[in-house]
Amino acid sequence: MAKVILNPIFNSFRGRLGDVVFRQMYGKTVMYARPKPSQHPPTPAQLEQRARFLAAARARAAARRLESDQPKG
């Protein structure tokens, strides 16, 4: 595995750049090839889980909107 020593200007780097993904693991910056989407159709269990996650994300977004509407004090 190659090691990259970042310039002091760049303390850390994370995210996607083209087909490369940068991550922080154990205090070090590592890079991976960007994962490819699955070529298999999702199973019924996966679709159910995705629907539950979407419902939870929408509920949290609604709660966050309500929190931001509350007067501070």
The residue ranking higher by pLDDT, 2 or 51, is: 51
What are the sequence ranges of the domains in the chain? 1-36, 37-68
pTM: 0.54
Model confidence over 13-44: pLDDT tens digits? 778 888 888 888 888 888 889 889 899 999 99
- The mean per-residue pLDDT over the stretch 36-60 comes to 96
Q: Please determine, for residue 8, whether its predicted confidence score (pLDDT) is greater than 90.
A: no
pLDDT at 6: 64
- The mean per-residue pLDDT over the stretch 54-71 comes to 90
Q: What is the DSSP string of 20-41?
A: EEEEEETTEEEEEEPPPPPSSP
